[in-house]
Structure 1
Amino acid sequence: GAALALTAVCHAAMPGALAFLTFQRDRGTEIESLGALVLHGARHFGWEGEVRLNYGSVEFLGPYVPLVSGAALALSVVALGWLVVWRLRAREFAASTPYDAAFVAVLLFTTTSRVISPQYLLWLVGLAAACLVVRTSGMVLPARLVLVATGVTLLEFPLLFAHVVASDPLGVLLLTVRNGLLVAATLVACRRLWVRTVAAPRRRAARTGLVSPGVAVRTRATAR
C-alpha cells in the first residue's frame, strides 16, 4: 500500500516518471542477446526486419521481434520461478551460499534478457570473484566459463562489432560462442547450487532417517 501511494505521488509530482515502462515495452531485441541469434539466422533467409539504434542500444526491429522478446521475458519469469522454488526448498546454507546464489541469479537474468550489453559481463565477473574468495564455493567452473565469455565479448564488442551488426558468419559465430558459454555457465551454476543446498542435504537426511513427519506419513500411506 505504501509503495503504491509513493508511486502515485511520484507520478503526480513528476509527469513522465513511469515513462521508462513504456520504453521497455517498445524496445526491440538487442542484437547481442541470446534470442537475437534466431533473428541473425533469419536475416539469411529473407527476414524483412532491420537493425537500428533504438533506446540507446543496437536492436532488431521488425516482424517477429515481439515474439522473440516475449520468449525472452517468459524465460526470465521461469528463471525467477526457479529461484523462488530453490529458496523454498533449500535446506543447507554454507558461508558461500549467499555469494553463489547472487551469482546464479544475475547469470539467469543476464542470459535470458533480451538485452546483453558488455557491461553485464563485468557484473558477472565481479560476482564470480566474490564467489571464488570463499573456498567452499561451487562456482569455480561457471566462473571460468564467464571469464572466457568475457574474453569473447571483448572480440565481439567493440573490435568486431561491425560483423555482428551485419550478421555475417564471423559475427554470428562470436555471438554463438559467447552466448553458448553463458548458457553453459548458467546451467552448471544452477545445478551446483541446487545439489549443494537441496539435493545433497535431502540425501543425507534420508540416509540417516531424518525425514520430516509429513514425509513419513506419506511414505506409510503409500506403503498401504
Structure 2
Amino acid sequence: MALAAVWVFTRLGMLVLLWRDSLGIGGVGREVYALYRHWYDLLAHGTFPPDDATWQYPPGAGLVIGAPAALPWLTYFQAFVALALLADAVVTLALAVADSDRVTHGAWLWVCGLPLLLHLPLARYDVQVTALAVLALLAVRSRPALGGALAGLGALVKVWPALTLIGTPRGRTTREAWLAAATTAAALLLTLAVMFTHSLDFLRQQGARGVQIESLGGTALALARAAGVWPGQVVYRYGAFEYVGPYASSVGWLALLLTVAACCWLLAWRLKARRWTAATPLDAAFAAVLLFTLTSRVISPQYMIWLLGLAAVCLTSRETVMRPAALLLLPAAALSGLAYPVLYEDVLAGTPVGLAVMTARNALLLAAGLLACRRLWTASVHEPRE
C-alpha cells in the first residue's frame, strides 16, 4: 500500500510538471506532440519516415509510436502519456511481485528513481522499452522462451534489450531464450518490412552521428573548451546537440572502439564465467547495458530510464552483487534531471554550473560501470575463497 501510494503521488507530480512543462529550457513534451505525432501520421499511411535524420530507431519503434491509436477518444499526446504511465505501472507491479520475501527494494528503486528524471519519462518511449526488458529478465528465469521473445521484441524497438540475454545460464536456457529472441525479431522485422516502406532507413542515420554533449566524450570536449585548449562549438543536428570542431570525430571513433572493447570484455566474461546464481543473468544484463551506455556517443537523459529499470530488477534478488552500482544511479538520475531540462541552457553554453552537473553525472555513471564490471567478474569468474 505504501508503494502504491508513493507511485500515485510521484506520478501525479510528474503529470503536473508535464502539464506546465516550463522548467529550464522547457518543451520536453514537444517531442511527443510534434515529432512523434509527425511519425505517427507517416506510419498511418504505410511508411516509416523517409530521409529523416531524426528517425534513428529500428522498425519496431513504430509499434510504440503508433500505439496511441488504441485510445481514439484521447488526443495523441494524452494517449501516449497514458500508455507510458501504464507501462510504468506494469514495471512497478512486476518488480513488486518478483521481489523476494516481500522486501521490495527493486520496486522502491524504480518508483522513487524515475521521478528524479522529472517529467521526461512520460514524454519519451523509453519506459515502454524498459518494460519489455524488465519483463524479459523476470520471465527468463522460469520461462526462457517467453523471456527471449520479449527481449527480441524489445531489441527490434530499441536494440539494447537484446543485451538482457547476455547472462542466461549455459545450456538449454540459453538455447531456448536466444532462439526465441532471434525468431521473434526476425518474424516481426519481416512483417513490418512487408506492411511498411522504408523500414530499414534508420540504418543510414546512425553512422553520421557525432559526439552528443551529454556523453562522456562530450564532457571531455566541454572541459577542454572551458580550459581554452579546444576551439569547438555546439551545433544541433541529427535531432541532438553535438560538439563539432578539431578532433571531435576522433572522439566519436574512440567511443566506437570502446564499444567494441566492451563487447569483447562481455564475450570474455561469458566464456570464463563458471558460477551462476539466480541473480547472475540480472547482474550481467545491468552491467552490459551500463557498459554500452558509457561507451555511447549519445547518453541522452532518457538512457537513465533503462539503467534504473535494470538496476531495479537486480535488487529483486538477494544474491545480486550490483547493489552498490545500482544505488549510484539515484544521484546520477537526479543530476540528469537537473541537467535536462532545468539547467540545459547552462549545459549548452558550458557554464561552470553546467559543466559541474554533467561532470558529476558522468563520473557517477563511470564509477557505477567500473564497479558493476568488477563485481560481476569477481562473483562469477573468480573461484570462491575457502
TM-score range, shorter chain: 0.7 to 0.9
Which residue pairs with 1:123 in the alignment?
A: 306
% same residue: 51
**Amino acid corresponding to residue 171 of structure 1 in structure 2:** G
Which residue pairs with 1:153 in the alignment?
A: 336
How many correspondences in the alignment? Answer: 197
Which residue pairs with 1:66 in the alignment?
A: 249
Q: 1:20, CA displacement in angstroms?
A: 2.7
**Residues 109-118 or 22-31, more deviating:** 22-31
- 1:47 paired with 2:230, answer yes
Any runs of at least 4 consecutive aligned residues in structure 1 with deviations exceeding 4 A, and if so which? none
Structure 2 runs not aligned, ≥5 long: 1-185
Q: 1:147, CA displacement in angstroms?
A: 1.4
Matches within 5 A, 1:164-175: 164-175=347-358
Residue 202 (structure 2) aligned to one of 20, 37, 45? 20
CA deviation map 1:4-38 (0-9, x unaligned): xx99xx6xx94x55443332221111000000122
- Structure of larger gyration radius: 1
- 1:75 paired with 2:275, answer no
Structure 2 CA distance, aligned partners of 1:28 and 1:62? Answer: 11
Q: 1:42, CA displacement in angstroms?
A: 2.8
State the SS of the aligned residue for 2:297: coil
- 1:88 paired with 2:271, answer yes
**Residues 47-56 or 58-67, more deviating:** 47-56
Which residue pairs with 1:217 in the alignment?
A: none
TM-score by length of 2: 0.48
Residue 29 (structure 1) aligned to one of 211, 236, 253? 211
CA deviation map 1:122-180 (0-9, x unaligned): 11001111000100001110000011111111111111111110011111111111000
Structure 2 CA distance, aligned partners of 1:64 and 1:156? Answer: 25
Which residue pairs with 1:180 in the alignment?
A: 363
Shift of the 54–124 alpha-carbon distance from structure 1 to 2, 3 Å rule, reads same
Structure 2 CA distance, aligned partners of 1:156 and 1:67? Answer: 25
Which residue pairs with 1:215 in the alignment?
A: none
Shift of the 49–18 alpha-carbon distance from structure 1 to 2, 3 Å rule, reads farther
Structure 1 CA distance, aligned partners of 2:340 and 2:323? Answer: 26
Structure 1 CA distance, aligned partners of 2:310 and 2:340? Answer: 21
Structure 2 CA distance, aligned partners of 1:71 and 1:47? Answer: 17
Structure 2 CA distance, aligned partners of 1:38 and 1:128? Answer: 26
Residue 139 (structure 1) aligned to one of 287, 309, 322? 322
Structure 1 runs not aligned, ≥5 long: 205-224
Structure 1 CA distance, aligned partners of 2:235 and 2:288? Answer: 30
Structure 2 CA distance, aligned partners of 1:140 and 1:25? Answer: 35
**Amino acid corresponding to residue 151 of structure 1 in structure 2:** A
Which residue pairs with 2:76 in the alignment?
A: none
Structure 1 CA distance, aligned partners of 2:204 and 2:271? Answer: 33
Structure 2 CA distance, aligned partners of 1:119 and 1:64? Answer: 27
TM-score by length of 1: 0.81
Residue 220 (structure 2) aligned to one of 38, 42, 65? 38
